Structure 1
């Protein structure tokens, strides 16, 4: 689906973001620490041993985005898959790359998970989390970010320093009260990024995408080195342990068949449908 930019020009101002609901404050603040040295031992949640909440400045971008119910227009490229059924969460690992995003533009490259629901009348409610490189927020730097339709702004978490070549584990999930949370595995513990009471219920359709946008006012070709996504697992709607996103999960990938899919000069390669894959520039044959 498409996004549109509500800003008429690039807005450089960033503001400190307040937690969405008070439940977030029940977790201790995450102490500063290095990147994780081992994968998560289990799924993220408020009761997970060592769980904490992101501390430090959380910045909100003045560039507001929205996704109307429409096919991707020129300038947008979505590489990945979505579920046709509903799940209560998704987790997995993304590699981080340096795309040729231009400063002072609406270009961006992102690797992200999303939980969403079509609310009708052209309105979609969602929470997404991942990493992004944008033309308006510290161009040339990759950020951990979230975006939700309660605030309709990008939230950047620059206390987590990530660079090309890094890999990050992310988890987006809900609880029995329809509260959705986005988590980052950092310093060998789950760090809570945001908590949002969304009107989508306890389950939603799930997406896993590498997303590229080229500023429509300044057409160009954006180069995206190959992003690797792996260990993608879904949480069942009725509870129970997470399971790998495999071929027996009803999945939407577009109209193309085969292991490789091409979108606007970018290629997606399914290594194991649908929990291990790569996306980025097409490798010349």
Structure 2
């Protein structure tokens, strides 16, 4: 079928391990558009989008954009890379209704022992709901899950400053730009592979990777970043550059930012279970693994 390439691109784009979110800003490559242009009279003519293309409206995630938040003291930024944290922020800031049944399905599908670290009561209620054979016990467990999810959302209402401890490292020193870049897919703003990039495994291997998300312990809730492609560290001092180059394998990047949007997966107009909390970076630190010393810092 002619749509096989498109379907394959969508399948890759909707993989949680490396998810290219349609509708997110700042891709490395402009989305491929159809050749025909709408002839309807309008000030700015818009390309006609094929219905199976990732950029088609019915394939873009349902999305709630939130206003910018000023930078705060670093102590105000809460760790979002914990099992229940994405659920917290998604619940607090989604701008659309979800039925108790939808929430219950998303949460109980995600219940794992990791959840016990963040909220033992939620883990217990979710496990009871999954395992209960008695209809009344199952009903009670369902009500308890919903109550606990609402409490989690309320706990972060009005507080969107978050910290992301990543495993990402710097690229090798670039002598042309005199600095260090970051090619980790978590920092990518590219939305999906183009048709040309998908023509062969070799082309895909050479292509920049689309944005990937960070799963934290609940499979239906993940964390991503918008604006990460702006992150780079200019270092013109050769002595410092040599020091960073020698140490970069024992460092990682820490992102300070705010929850800029929450999103829910959609394809063909149908909503799916995956929920995303997208962070706008304000500051990125290069941190030494053992000592936590900040070697470089960039304010965005």
What band does the TM-score fall into relative to the shorter chain?
A: under 0.3
**Bigger share in helix:** 2
TM normalised by structure 2 equals 0.22
Give the structure with higher Rg (CA). Answer: 2
User: TM-score, structure 1 length as denominator?
Assistant: 0.23
